[in-house]
Structure 1
Amino acid sequence: MIRLLACLALFFFLVPVTYVRGPLAPPVDDQYIALEPIALDPRHPERTRAGQLVFLAGWKITSDNGEFGGISSMVILPDQRFLMLSDNGTLVGFTFDEAAHRAIRPFIAPLPDGPAKPNAFARQNWDSESLVHNPATGQYWVGYEHQHSIWRYGSSFSRKEAANFPAAMQQWPENGGAEAMLRLADGRFVVFSESAEHAEGAYRALFFDSDPADSSSTAQAFGYRPPKGYKLTDAAMLDDKSALMLHRRFTPLDGVSAIISIARLADFQPGEIATSTPIATLEPPLKVDNMEALAITREGADSIVWLASDDNFSGLQESLLLKFRLLPEKATEKARSARRQKQKAEASPGFSAFESDGSLKR
């Protein structure tokens, strides 16, 4: 019964409606989702910059639902409707009231179908890692690991429309499949492996000439080389010429960190190796976890970057949602120039760190 209610909640969530802010209703079954505000740097809450990103807000997401967690990808629909995909084949959705830090009409529901039938081991069998959406048709595409495949679902996720197990993906590592996926404006798709080795430090990616869930689509291989020591975890279209790329790294010595970079779509060419330009690094003491989900929205002329983390269903990790504003490159270069001038002045003879009144210079 709870699963049926969850699926019904999913359907109604995906149908746009207006809502009136009012008292928060008590939780219904285990669909309740809580969002707790957090700072980018807990020790210095006033800190807001990370490279070319300006921190706007952040939240820790929790739920008592045992299927909640493992966020691997997300899309953001109109009216602040968030749709997150867990790597256990579960959809997590809510309309986000940012001002009140609350999730309206939340739901936690399984995908209607996948590479393996739902069972007690669905978390191992349904390793869903990537998600893209076509606003024109309402359709969704999901990329799966283990049983490497691309599935297409209808606008309300009511049913599976098509599924394809591309031959070019079948030799990818079991846990290194379709980690990220892009749908280009012309209908072509790009699917990135997390760890299928290509050449020269790059990992395998595929350029599909049409819908990758259709067995008639043709795939051509190329390589994507992430920043050294990092693995790609998600990607999102920034504009018609570039994409934002999310990468993560974990080492016992340094812990977890993430790099966000920009790639030119023109560099994604069959037979070639593409790279990207880092624009921000998230590492301790900044609030960072296993960052795996990336989405981009617009607020006026600003590009808004959303990141979410995969807690691996572990009590030692957290599900985070972070919101940033992307600074234009000119603004970033201006800030770099100002820092260089300040450093040069501080290094010059006769420089004093204090104002004439004895106060510390800022």
Structure 2
Amino acid sequence: MRNPMLRVLACLSLFFFLVPVTYVRGPVPPANDSQYIALEPIALDARDPERIRVGRLAFLGGWKITSDNGEFGGISSMLALPDNRFLMLSDNGTLVGFTLDEANHRAIRPFIAPLPEGPAPPNDYAKKNWDSESFLHDPGTGQFWVGYEHQHSIWRYGPSFARKESVNFPKAMQEWPDNGGAEAMLRLPDGRFLVFSESAKYSEGGYQALVFEGDASEPGSKAKLMGYRGPKGYKLTDAALLDDRTALMLHRRFTPLDGVSAILSVARLADFEPGKIATSQPVATLKPPVKVDNMEALAVTREGAKIIVWIASDDNFSTLQESLFFKFQLLDGENRLKKTGPESQNEKAGANPGFSTFESD
């Protein structure tokens, strides 16, 4: 029989991971709207600071993100924009943006601000619950798409989030579990949208996903059902296109005895078809002693011939967790670092900060 104390500690860890807890003593402190974001460099493996490899990922940098702003935290999805500009989306409807100065570990031109509009409370007595989980951007039009849980819907916003342009509450999504909504979204090269449920089970195995013929935020957009089966025991938290044939899929798992871990895998876009069950091939597993938390946000960029993978974590607004931000290079199929020419230097973003400037000048 296992040590009873071990069971107690395991149950407590599960409770604190799944249920954000805030202890308030005395009057509630005034809201803090600080726009400052701090980046603290961290190693991939604190026990072995020289370690840079995990599966097919080569570690290029890592940071713990903090801010005194009361709305900071809960990072659920993110976008990598030009010139090392990042836009992160919290699951409380908050946008977090900054330009990453990797050499000096600084967040330049930071801002923290709420989305301009979101789902209305279900009744007059309910609190606002903008559980925003997934995020897309069209660099050509400047438009953004956000997927919401609880009040399952897809919203489209204009450039710089100036206004809401369209909103759709797809009928099929209304059957999804309250906390199992649009966990991840993809926009395929042919214009179709994929919206993945975190926990709505598919009849043939795995979890449900919807294939929209067009813009998922348009009320008239038709959707067909498919399934996605990730690594056993793991649930999908985000997805990002790798190229016109494949996508990266990010998954997480938490158990009281093993703790938290994440798996990054590659899926074929050709398998994302109505009525089918898509799967993916793992390329890396993040688990202790590697630094890992509730990994929920994923983005892909390129530096010359290198494929760069960015992963961030959701701290659940808990003091027991952290907002982590990692930069990796995805190695080729034989796990070799590709030789490339000199990397071009990123141009510095303009000096004009603020909520209205999401992309670099």
Q: CA deviation at 1:331?
A: 3.5
What letter matches 1:52 in structure 2? R
Aligned to 2:174: 170
TM-score, reference length from structure 1: 0.82
Q: CA deviation at 1:121?
A: 7.2
Aligned to 1:204: 208
What letter matches 1:168 in structure 2? A
Number of residues of Structure 1 aligned to a counterpart in Structure 2 = 306
What letter matches 2:266 in structure 1? I
Aligned to 2:138: 134
What letter matches 2:56 in structure 1? Q
Q: Distance in 1 between matches of 2:125 and 2:137?
A: 28
What letter matches 1:110 in structure 2? P
Please tell me whether the aligned partners of residues 201 and 207 of structure 2 are also in contact (alpha carbons under 8 angstroms): yes
Aligned to 1:77: 81
Among 271, 276, 281, the alignment partner of 2:275 is: 271
- In the TM superposition, 1:2-151 aligns within 5 A as 30-116=34-120, 125-151=129-155
What letter matches 2:138 in structure 1? N
Q: Distance in 2 between matches of 1:291 and 1:103?
A: 20
Q: Distance in 2 between matches of 1:211 and 1:304?
A: 28
Task: For residues 78-136 of structure 1, give each alpha carbon's deviation from its aligned partner in whole angstroms, at most 9, with x where no partner exists.
Answer: 1111000000000000111111111111100000000126x9976x6110000011111
Aligned to 1:295: 299
Aligned to 2:218: 214
Q: Distance in 2 between matches of 1:53 and 1:169?
A: 34
Aligned to 2:346: none
Please tell me whether the aligned partners of residues 33 and 70 of structure 2 are also in contact (alpha carbons under 8 angstroms): no
Q: Distance in 1 between matches of 2:261 and 2:200?
A: 21
Q: Distance in 2 between matches of 1:296 and 1:255?
A: 27
Q: CA deviation at 1:200?
A: 4.2
Among 154, 157, 169, the alignment partner of 1:153 is: 157
What letter matches 2:329 in structure 1? R
| SS of the residue 1:103 aligns to | strand
| SS of the residue 2:161 aligns to | coil
Q: 1:323 to 1:333 in 2, by over 3 A?
A: closer
User: Identity of aligned pairs, percent?
Assistant: 74
Q: CA deviation at 1:309?
A: 0.1
Task: For residues 206-242 of structure 1, give each alpha carbon's deviation from its aligned partner in whole angstroms, at most 9, with x where no partner exists.
Answer: 0001000001111010000010000000000000000
Q: Distance in 1 between matches of 2:159 and 2:68?
A: 28
| Two-structure CA RMSD over aligned residues (Å) | 1.9
Q: Distance in 1 between matches of 2:312 and 2:101?
A: 17
Q: Distance in 2 between matches of 1:333 and 1:107?
A: 35
Please tell me whether the aligned partners of residues 156 and 166 of structure 2 are also in contact (alpha carbons under 8 angstroms): yes
- Higher RCO (CA < 8 A, seq sep 6+): 2
1:253 has 2:263 as partner: no
Is 250-259 or 183-192 further displaced after alignment?
Answer: 183-192
| SS of the residue 2:77 aligns to | strand
TM-score, reference length from structure 2: 0.82
Please tell me whether the aligned partners of residues 158 and 164 of structure 2 are also in contact (alpha carbons under 8 angstroms): yes
Please tell me whether the aligned partners of residues 331 and 337 of structure 2 are also in contact (alpha carbons under 8 angstroms): no
Larger radius of gyration: 1
Q: 1:139 to 1:283 in 2, by over 3 A?
A: same
What letter matches 1:198 in structure 2? Y
Q: Distance in 1 between matches of 2:147 and 2:185?
A: 7
Q: CA deviation at 1:187?
A: 1.5
Q: Distance in 1 between matches of 2:95 and 2:303?
A: 25
Aligned to 1:308: 312
Q: CA deviation at 1:332?
A: 5.3
What letter matches 1:181 in structure 2? M
Aligned to 2:194: 190
Please tell me whether the aligned partners of residues 86 and 97 of structure 2 are also in contact (alpha carbons under 8 angstroms): yes
Task: For residues 229-259 of structure 1, give each alpha carbon's deviation from its aligned partner in whole angstroms, at most 9, with x where no partner exists.
Answer: 0000000000000000000000000000000
Q: Distance in 2 between matches of 1:149 and 1:110?
A: 18
Please tell me whether the aligned partners of residues 205 and 277 of structure 2 are also in contact (alpha carbons under 8 angstroms): no
Could you tell me which runs of 5 or more consecutive residues in structure 2 were left unpaired when the two chains were aligned: 1-31, 339-361
1 or 2, which has the higher helix percentage? Answer: 1
Aligned to 2:4: none
Q: Distance in 2 between matches of 1:84 and 1:333?
A: 29
What letter matches 1:278 in structure 2? P
Task: For residues 152-194 of structure 1, give each alpha carbon's deviation from its aligned partner in whole angstroms, at most 9, with x where no partner exists.
Answer: 0011011111000000100000000000000112211101000
Q: 1:271 to 1:112 in 2, by over 3 A?
A: same
| SS of the residue 2:160 aligns to | coil
| SS of the residue 1:236 aligns to | strand
Q: Distance in 1 between matches of 2:229 and 2:154?
A: 23
| SS of the residue 1:170 aligns to | helix
